[in-house]
C-alpha cells in the first residue's frame, strides 16, 4: 500500500508600520537552506497601531535577529505569511524579512 502526502503552500508579503510588544533573545539554529551553516533566530511580537487585538508573532532570521528593539518602539516591518497543509493539518508561518526602526 502506498502512502501519498499532499502539501499546499501559499505566501503573502506585506509591509506595515507596527509597534514592538516584545522580543526573545536570539538563539543559534541550523539553516535549512545552507547545509551545515548556523544562523541566528529570534521571535518578535508586533502590534497594529490603534488596534488592541491584532498582533503578529514573527520569526526573525540572520543578522536581523541580533538587533534589539525596545517595547513600544515603532518599526516598519516587511512580513511574509506562509501557510501550508500537511495530512489535513494547516500551519501558518510568519517571517519578518526586514525590520526598520522609525525615529
72-94 mean pLDDT = 90
Residue 2 confidence (pLDDT) above 50: no
Question: Structural domain boundaries of the chain?
Answer: 7-101
Query: 13 pairs with which residues across the strands?
Result: 80
The answer to whether residues 81 and 97 touch, using CB atoms and an 8 Å cutoff, is no
Residue 72 and residue 76: Cα distance in Å, rounded? 13
3-state secondary structure at position 29? strand
What is the C-alpha radius of gyration for the chain, rounded to an integer number of angstroms?
16
Query: 17 pairs with which residues across the strands?
Result: 76
Alpha-carbon separation of residue 99 from 4, 11, 24, 47, 88 (angstroms):
39, 19, 15, 13, 33
- Domain 7-101, CATH: 2.40.50
pTM over 0.75: yes
74-97 mean pLDDT = 90
Amino acid at each position: 500500500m502506498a502512502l501519498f502526502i499532499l502539501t499546499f503552500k501559499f505566501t503573502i508579503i506585506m509591509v506595515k508600520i507596527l509597534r514592538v510588544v516584545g522580543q526573545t533573545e536570539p538563539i543559534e539554529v541550523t539553516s535549512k537552506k545552507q547545509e551545515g551553516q548556523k544562523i541566528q533566530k529570534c521571535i518578535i511580537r508586533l502590534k497594529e497601531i490603534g488596534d488592541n487585538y491584532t498582533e503578529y508573532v514573527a520569526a526573525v532570521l540572520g543578522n536581523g535577529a541580533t538587533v534589539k528593539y525596545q517595547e513600544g518602539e515603532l518599526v516598519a516591518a516587511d512580513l511574509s505569511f506562509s501557510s501550508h497543509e500537511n495530512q489535513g493539518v494547516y500551519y501558518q508561518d510568519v517571517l519578518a524579512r526586514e525590520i526598520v526602526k522609525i525615529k
